[in-house]
């Protein structure tokens, strides 16, 4: 390139962007800022090209529609000043891009410190209005520890405010939210003693408790048959403390509602329709709120981050603005005290949960691309009001499933199972080849989830894919020569129109992958049929096609499916449903009869051999039932530590001789405190 277009050194690059060197280095490490390095020279020998930086800045614009009304006189005046300033620096395109990104990059992040170090999972923090106390949810190692806790800033111990188990009654209590005056805490309550979700009696309640611990009471039922997950904040108080902004999914009440504390009827603000809306967060001055919407079933899904302005009386003002849309998983959002920007936790690959999540900052003034703060993994967060000395506290959950292991061996000698291909990183979703000689699995030991294969005893591990964004279990073809898998691309790589969910098959002998050409269909969770045809899902719809993409046919709609597979003879389709706990169903493809095989499952993972169906029940027992009908028997108890571990894949060889299953490592979620967050 033209040498006049070149910028040398971190210092000059930072000056060109009007940023600090620290910000520029962070953009290079986390955001892909195009900086070149002389690999054979010492550290610091770097350069960049102005034209490449301008292109990179342009590519970071995610929301071209501003959230503010640019027709106002003030906004028009601001735009004219922007254009005038830009013309004095360089081209309008480059100046506009730098200006928009400058609005976002206003955060100053100090080193986080551990706020809780409790065994188990602590998350969903809420800082009190006076900034002195944090309410949070802790799921410990025994039932009596579960509940909502309070811990003062600077204190060593925590006190339980609401217990999950009282006398003989148990409930899942989570998601605390302080009232504006600090006298009450609202929270969600989900009874654990209810019948299974297929009866429609699974409920989520909005409850209140005095911050002193007394006067607990139920306010209203928010949901029936659906769950508001604990990895997001779902409650936001009005400024006067007389009502709460909350999601509802209770019969015809579906969307975001105002819930009055005086017991009067909820007031609907949004209509979710058949979608799933949750996690509303009211701005500090009450003139707007963000919320999230998922299109399709929870996994996988397309997520939208939505902004809605409000009138002084709390009614909607103008249409909503979709700030972001993509295949992501957001777990928590909090406003900065100024009300000019928000911070939220996002995972750009929804199958991974909190494993690769990061905190982002977004200015609402220009609706620009979020800026990564360099903090993560994360799960829910809270930002307190600025103190008199200008200090702002941020507390966020950090941690997650940082690893996983595969256990395998003889199905008839379960006590002798051993770890295969051990690694400090995640390994899961094992799948035996049809002849039982090899095992396919997913591992991120190379930094990204990829498909691997090894011999039955774990020897000769070999990576089959590279840069593939694996997001499903691997499925062997009937002849054992190929493996079918699905990927989930980041939205910026999904194309136009965006197609993040795609299917591939890889030839085991060579590692060469071939895409299944399905056009713009969002194809997920594939598996082979006995005749070599493939089956896949587009959210809750099941489809069948040939590997060349021809013969596409829709087979039906199955709400809240999680995983699925067919019997070897092709007669039955087995699938798991996301209920609480999971359900396992069998669909007769000849008659259309849908039969419940088992409920109260600990995991959605199951396996089909030539003769039997295997699954794990709520007591962590490996169970087996004949495909053609018969009694269900217990094979063995699995060494799963309830709450702290998950089963991430289960496979039994076709001849019922060998088993492989994967366990996540012990989960530890701690709360992290960031002081003087600006």
| Across 253-264, average pLDDT | 95
Question: Using 50, 70 and 90 to split pLDDT, how confident is the model at 277?
Answer: very high
Please choose, from the candidates 673, 676, 677, 678, the residue with its C-alpha nearest in 3D space to the C-alpha of residue 154: 673
| Across 614-622, average pLDDT | 90
Please choose, from the candidates 443, 655, 431, 662, the residue with its C-alpha nearest in 3D space to the C-alpha of residue 565: 431
Q: Is 30 helix (H, G, I), strand (E, B) or coil?
A: helix
Neighbours of 642 (CB within 10 A): 12
pLDDT of residue 87 exceeding 50:
no
Q: What are the strands, taking DSSP E only, across 365-481?
A: 371-372, 379-383, 394-400, 404-410, 418-420, 427-432, 438-443, 450-455, 462-463, 475-476
Could you tell me what percentage of the chain is helix, strand and coil, using 3-state DSSP and rounding each to the nearest 5? 10, 45, 45
Whole-number Å distance between alpha carbons of 678 and 671: 19
* Higher per-residue pLDDT: 3 or 147: 147
Cis peptide before 224 (omega within 30 of 0): no
Whole-number Å distance between alpha carbons of 678 and 669: 24
Question: Using 50, 70 and 90 to split pLDDT, how confident is the model at 109?
Answer: low
pLDDT of residue 183 exceeding 80:
yes
Predicted local confidence at residue 507, as pLDDT: 95
Predicted local confidence at residue 167, as pLDDT: 58
Most confidently predicted of 410-414, 424-428, 575-579:
410-414
* Higher per-residue pLDDT: 2 or 147: 147
| Residue 17: CA count within 13 A, CB half-sphere | 34
Q: Is 611 helix (H, G, I), strand (E, B) or coil?
A: coil
| Across 627-653, average pLDDT | 83
Residues 6+ apart with CB under 8 A from 333: 232, 233, 279, 281, 290, 292, 342, 343, 344, 345, 381
Predicted local confidence at residue 37, as pLDDT: 65
Predicted local confidence at residue 73, as pLDDT: 35
Look up residue 112 and give its two tokens: 């986080």
Is the CA virtual torsion 470, 355, 230, 343 positive or negative? negative
| Across 46-71, average pLDDT | 56
* Higher per-residue pLDDT: 358 or 243: 243
Predicted local confidence at residue 464, as pLDDT: 93
Q: Are 304 and 292 in contact (CB under 8 A)?
A: yes
* Higher per-residue pLDDT: 163 or 399: 163
Cα separations in angstroms, 494 against 267, 295, 326, 362, 489: 38, 17, 9, 22, 6
Question: Using 50, 70 and 90 to split pLDDT, how confident is the model at 1?
Answer: very low
Whole-number Å distance between alpha carbons of 427 and 461: 12
User: What percent of the chain is modeled with pLDDT above 90?
Assistant: 38
Predicted local confidence at residue 145, as pLDDT: 81
Predicted local confidence at residue 139, as pLDDT: 83
Domains of the chain: 3-104 (no CATH), 404-664 (2.120.10.30)
Whole-number Å distance between alpha carbons of 635 and 198: 27
Question: Using 50, 70 and 90 to split pLDDT, how confident is the model at 440?
Answer: very high
Most confidently predicted of 100-104, 170-174, 437-441, 448-452:
437-441
| Across 525-530, average pLDDT | 87
Predicted local confidence at residue 568, as pLDDT: 66
Per-residue pLDDT tens over the stretch 449-486:
899 999 999 999 999 998 888 888 899 999 999 999 99
Whole-number Å distance between alpha carbons of 666 and 271: 39
Predicted local confidence at residue 367, as pLDDT: 56
Predicted local confidence at residue 328, as pLDDT: 74
Q: Residue 282: enclosing H or E segment and its boundaries?
A: strand 276-282
Q: Across all residues in the chain, what is the average pLDDT?
A: 80
Predicted local confidence at residue 628, as pLDDT: 80
| Across 210-230, average pLDDT | 90
Predicted local confidence at residue 3, as pLDDT: 54
Cα separations in angstroms, 363 against 68, 289, 632: 11, 14, 56
pLDDT of residue 106 exceeding 70:
no
Name residue 598's beta-bridge partners: 584
Whole-number Å distance between alpha carbons of 44 and 410: 55
| Across 23-33, average pLDDT | 70
Predicted local confidence at residue 148, as pLDDT: 95
User: What percent of the chain is modeled with pLDDT above 70?
Assistant: 79
Per-residue pLDDT tens over the stretch 534-560:
999 887 788 999 999 999 999 888 766
Look up residue 677 and give its two tokens: 């967050």
> Would you say the pTM of this structure is higher than 0.85?
no
* Higher per-residue pLDDT: 499 or 433: 433
* Higher per-residue pLDDT: 277 or 1: 277
Predicted local confidence at residue 468, as pLDDT: 81
Predicted local confidence at residue 119, as pLDDT: 78
Predicted local confidence at residue 402, as pLDDT: 57
Per-residue pLDDT tens over the stretch 480-525:
999 999 988 876 677 778 788 899 999 999 999 999 999 888 888 8
* Higher per-residue pLDDT: 566 or 626: 626
pLDDT of residue 201 exceeding 50:
no
């Amino acid at each position: 390139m033209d040498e006049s277009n070149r910028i040398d050194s971190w210092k000059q690059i930072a000056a060109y962007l009007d940023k600090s060197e620290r910000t520029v280095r962070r953009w290079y490490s986390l955001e892909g800022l195009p900086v070149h390095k002389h690999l054979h020279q010492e550290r610091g020998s770097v350069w960049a090209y102005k034209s490449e930086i301008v292109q990179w800045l342009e590519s970071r614009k995610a929301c071209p529609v501003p959230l503010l009304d640019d027709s106002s006189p003030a906004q028009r005046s601001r735009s004219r000043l922007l254009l005038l300033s830009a013309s004095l620096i360089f081209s309008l395109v480059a100046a506009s891009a730098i200006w928009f990104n400058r609005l976002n990059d206003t955060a100053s992040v100090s080193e986080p410190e551990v706020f809780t170090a409790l065994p188990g999972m602590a998350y969903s923090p809420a800082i009190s209005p006076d900034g002195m106390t944090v309410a949070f949810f802790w799921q410990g190692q025994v039932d009596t520890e579960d509940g909502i806790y309070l811990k003062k800033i600077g204190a060593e111990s925590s006190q339980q405010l609401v217990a999950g188990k009282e006398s003989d009654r148990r409930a899942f209590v989570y998601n605390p939210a302080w009232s504006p005056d600090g006298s009450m805490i609202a929270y969600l309550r989900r009874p654990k003693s209810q019948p299974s979700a297929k009866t429609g009696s699974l409920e989520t309640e909005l409850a209140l408790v005095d911050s002193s611990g007394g006067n607990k009471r139920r306010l209203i039922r928010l949901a029936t048959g659906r769950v508001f997950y604990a990895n997001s904040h779902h409650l936001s108080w009005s400024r006067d403390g007389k009502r709460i902004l909350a999601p509802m999914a209770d019969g015809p009440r579906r969307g975001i509602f105002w819930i009055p504390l005086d017991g009067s009827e909820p007031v609907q603000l949004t209509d979710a329709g058949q979608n799933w809306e949750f996690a509303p967060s009211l701005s500090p001055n009450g003139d707007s709120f963000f919320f999230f919407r998922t299109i399709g079933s929870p996994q996988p899904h397309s997520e939208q981050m939505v902004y809605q302005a409000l009138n002084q009386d709390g009614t909607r003002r103008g249409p909503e603005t979709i700030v972001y849309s993509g295949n992501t998983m957001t777990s928590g959002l909090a406003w900065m005290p100024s009300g000019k920007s928000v911070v939220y936790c996002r995972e750009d690959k929804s199958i991974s949960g909190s494993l690769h999540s990061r905190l982002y900052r977004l200015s609402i003034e220009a609706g620009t691309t979020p800026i990564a703060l360099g903090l993560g993994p994360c799960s829910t967060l809270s930002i307190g009001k600025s103190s008199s000395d200008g200090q702002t506290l941020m507390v966020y959950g950090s941690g997650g499933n940082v690893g996983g292991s595969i256990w395998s061996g003889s199905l008839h000698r379960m006590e002798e199972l051993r770890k295969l291909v051990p690694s400090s990183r995640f390994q899961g979703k094992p799948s035996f080849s049809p002849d039982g000689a090899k095992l396919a699995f997913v591992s991120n030991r190379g930094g990204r989830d990829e498909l691997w294969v090894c011999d039955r005893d774990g020897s000769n591990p070999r990576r089959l894919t590279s840069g593939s964004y694996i997001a499903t279990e691997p499925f062997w073809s009937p002849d054992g020569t190929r493996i079918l898998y699905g990927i989930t691309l980041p939205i910026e790589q999904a194309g136009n129109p965006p197609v993040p969910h795609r299917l591939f098959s890889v030839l085991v002998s060579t590692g060469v992958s071939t895409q299944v050409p399905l056009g713009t269909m969002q194809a997920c969770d594939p598996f082979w049929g006995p005749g070599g045809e493939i089956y896949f899902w587009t959210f809750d719809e099941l489809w069948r096609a040939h590997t060349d993409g021809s013969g596409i046919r829709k087979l039906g709609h199955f709400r809240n499916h999680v995983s699925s597979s067919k019997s070897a003879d092709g007669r039955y389709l087995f699938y798991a449903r996301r209920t609480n706990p999971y359900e396992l169903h069998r669909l007769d493809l000849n008659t259309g009869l849908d039969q419940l095989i088992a409920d109260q499952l600990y995991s959605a993972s199951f396996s089909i051999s030539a003769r039997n169906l295997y699954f794990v029940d709520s007591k962590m027992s490996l169970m087996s039932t004949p495909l053609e009908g018969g009694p269900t028997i217990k094979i063995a108890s699995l060494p799963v530590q309830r709450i702290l571990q998950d089963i991430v894949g289960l496979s039994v060889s076709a001849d019922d001789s060998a088993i492989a299953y994967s366990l996540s490592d012990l989960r530890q979620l701690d709360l992290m405190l960031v002081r003087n967050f600006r």
